[in-house]
Amino acid sequence: MNLQIAKSIASALNNQVEVEEIEKLLEKPKHVDLGDFSLPCFKLAKKLGQSPQLIASNIQKNLTCDVIQSVEIVGGYVNLFLNQHIITQQVLKQIVKEQHLYGTSLTRKGNVVFDFSSPNIAKPFSMGHLRSTVIGNALANIAEKNGYNAIRINHLGDWGTQFGKLIVAYKRWGHQQTIEAAPIEELLKIYVKFHEEAERDTTLIEQARVAFKALEDKDEEALALWHWFREVSLEEFKTLYQLLGIQFDAYDGEAFYNDKMHTVVNELQEKGLLTLSEGAYVVELEKEEMPPCIITKTDGATLYATRDLAAAFYRIQQYHPEKIVYVVGHEQTLHFKQLFNVVEKMGYDWASNLSHVAFGMILKEGKKMSTRKGKIVLLNDVLTEAIATAKQNIEMKNPNLQNKEEVAKQVGVGAVIFNDLKNYRLHDIEFSIEQMMQFEGETGPYIQYTYARIFSILEKANGQLGEMTYQPLGVQAWPVILLLEQYPRVITIAYEQADPSIVAKYALHLARSFNKYYATNKILSNDDRQNSRLALCHCVAMILEDSLALLGINAPKNM
């Protein structure tokens, strides 16, 4: 609708202003008495060489648009009031016809690679890993809704100096039987112990460096330990991903690129981009006002940048993507700026298609969680508690509910995911299990309950439901209609801004608006507008379910 209105305004101005420019200027007024849309004409004044008031007056005189009921001018603003009857019919008919395809781009686009989650092998999956996992999954879902083919890659942290530390720790303090009984927990214990002991015995760091070099040189014992650490970790990760409802197309971790790095290093050397600096080979980025990007150490050991370069080239060749999106915390911003600049210096125009989607941290008592110091909250523990709390609520409020276990899982997991995604991704989040498990207010369970309530209404109406009709539903339903109409635009903006919180906040707004309408309107009252009210219910349920699905959350039909 925004586009339709923008085209009509452009026509009223004799097409002296681009439709896209007008569409960007359209606003939603803060108060309903100021219209459904508003166009400030101040930015147009300079372009057209006219006063904002004159531009507004010309728009009012010349505007012809079926969906606009009336136009008012307030100063340099054009306030537009929509035809509620026409819009209601258009929106409800379209959603009923298209169902879950409403808001889906029918133009098929190219591949987009999403690199997300990426936990470290041999370390437990903590709440600190949650953000990349759920943000990345939601962005991939939103991309698919926008017509792209999303390729989900889990770039596992399965290589690097931490494995030298772990090998040393295992040989000193590890026991095979103990680790096989509880792999991740025991591996974490010896990893933390290594760092505690290294503060007293500095030779441990050198031992770890030697152990990792042996691993790089394919020492048989080191490789066997590494394979074991990776296997037990990945098994546990996959159990968590299944609980979260997340799947990946590839688990190509850092080790996957070990035999692909020399090609990139050779190309950098051939193109004269490598220089020796303080014992390492680097790509200088002084002109870009950044520190040099370290490619290899003098002993030949590789670094994150080397592997990420090899990964980028592999993905371009393998998937031919329109974009590669790295969903990684904001503390890695410099690393990705360096990475993208190195690709650009190598002469590849696809460097502009590399994107770092940063996010803030989950804090505990205002501080970053640390695996080294053992100060972490395990995601599995949080999900288990969330599911148990959801089940307690069900036992109290709806003890006869069928499939209690499944619904409790959907509600508990949904609460954890939504608690993250409702926040703008760059903001830090203070971890609080109490706040996360509140089942009222700005929560996933609130939206799920709204959906279940509507589904219950539709079930009751099944025997009374005739042909869908679309009569005007009054001013109380109008905010709901406007929100339904805006859903396709919300999906587009969420993709363009790489921000799932736009969808989460939209779903909250839609649920609140419907509940406000429901509180003052009886849906099943057997009059000539009952089917129109049921059509509204059907459409709201459809969009709530779809919004939650984009966020990676299930919508139970009964709660």
Terminal-residue alpha carbon distance, the chain: 35
Per-residue pLDDT averaged across 135-154, rounded? 98
Closest CA to 446 of 555, 539, 312, 527: 555
User: What's the rounded Cα separation, in Å, for the pair 408 and 439?
Assistant: 12
pLDDT digits (tens, 9 = 90+) for 257-302: 999 999 999 999 999 999 999 889 999 999 999 999 999 987 777 7
Q: Which CATH class is domain 379-551?
A: mainly alpha
Which stretches of 129-235 are assigned E, i.e. beta strand? 149-153
Helix (H) or strand (E) run with residue 94 in it:
helix 84-98
pTM over 0.95: no
Phi, psi of 130 (to 5 degrees): -60, -40
Token couple for 253:
């971790």
User: What's the rounded Cα separation, in Å, for the pair 305 and 295?
Assistant: 6
CA–CA distances in Å: residue 135 to residues 132, 328, 340, 456, 488:
5, 10, 22, 31, 20
531 alpha-carbon distance from chain centroid: 36
Give the distance between the most distant pair of CA atoms in the chain: 85
pLDDT digits (tens, 9 = 90+) for 54-107: 999 999 999 999 999 999 999 899 999 999 999 999 999 999 999 999 999 999
Closest CA to 358 of 139, 155, 124: 139
Q: Are strands 429-430 and 362-364 parallel, antiparallel or unpaired?
A: parallel
User: What's the rounded Cα separation, in Å, for the pair 211 and 216?
Assistant: 9
pLDDT over 70 at 503, yes or no: yes
Question: Residue 424 carries which side chain, given as an amino acid letter?
Answer: Y
User: What's the rounded Cα separation, in Å, for the pair 380 and 126?
Assistant: 8
- Count the helix, strand and coil residues of the chain and give each as a percent rounded to the nearest 5: 60, 10, 30
Q: 111, 460 in Cβ contact below 8 A?
A: no
Question: What pLDDT was estimated at residue 256?
Answer: 95
Q: Is 303 helix (H, G, I), strand (E, B) or coil?
A: coil
Phi, psi of 72 (to 5 degrees): -125, 150
Per-residue pLDDT averaged across 183-206, rounded? 92
Confidence of residue 172 (pLDDT cuts 50, 70, 90): very high
Question: What pLDDT was estimated at residue 185?
Answer: 85
Question: What pLDDT was estimated at residue 463?
Answer: 61
Helices and strands (DSSP H and E) totals, the chain:
21, 13
Q: Which residues contact 24 (CB under 8 A, 6 or more apart)?
A: none
CA–CA distances in Å: residue 494 to residues 459, 497, 542:
32, 5, 19
* CATH superfamily assigned to domain 116-266+303-368: HUPs (3.40.50.620)
User: What's the rounded Cα separation, in Å, for the pair 364 and 376?
Assistant: 8
User: What's the rounded Cα separation, in Å, for the pair 223 and 403?
Assistant: 46
pLDDT over 70 at 373, yes or no: no
184 versus 325: the higher-pLDDT residue is 325
Residue 353 CB neighbour total at 10 angstroms? 18
Q: At what angle do helices 203-216 and 220-244 cross, to 10 degrees?
A: 90
Per-residue pLDDT averaged across 387-414, rounded? 94
Q: 416, 348 in Cβ contact below 8 A?
A: no
Closest CA to 547 of 450, 424, 473: 450
User: What's the rounded Cα separation, in Å, for the pair 539 and 510?
Assistant: 11
For the segment(s) 2-82, the CATH number from 3.30.70.260, 2.40.50.320, 3.30.70.3150, 3.30.1360.70 is 3.30.1360.70
Q: Is 280 helix (H, G, I), strand (E, B) or coil?
A: strand
Average pLDDT, the chain: 92
Of the candidate ranges 131-145, 221-235, 316-330, the one whose mean pLDDT is the lowest: 221-235
Domain residue extents for the chain: 2-82, 116-266+303-368, 379-551
Q: Given this chain, do its domains 2-82 and 116-266+303-368 carry the same CATH topology?
A: no
Of the candidate ranges 95-99, 231-235, 300-304, 487-491, the one whose mean pLDDT is the lowest: 300-304
Sign for the CA dihedral angle at 142, 143, 146, 151 comes to negative
Question: What pLDDT was estimated at residue 375?
Answer: 60
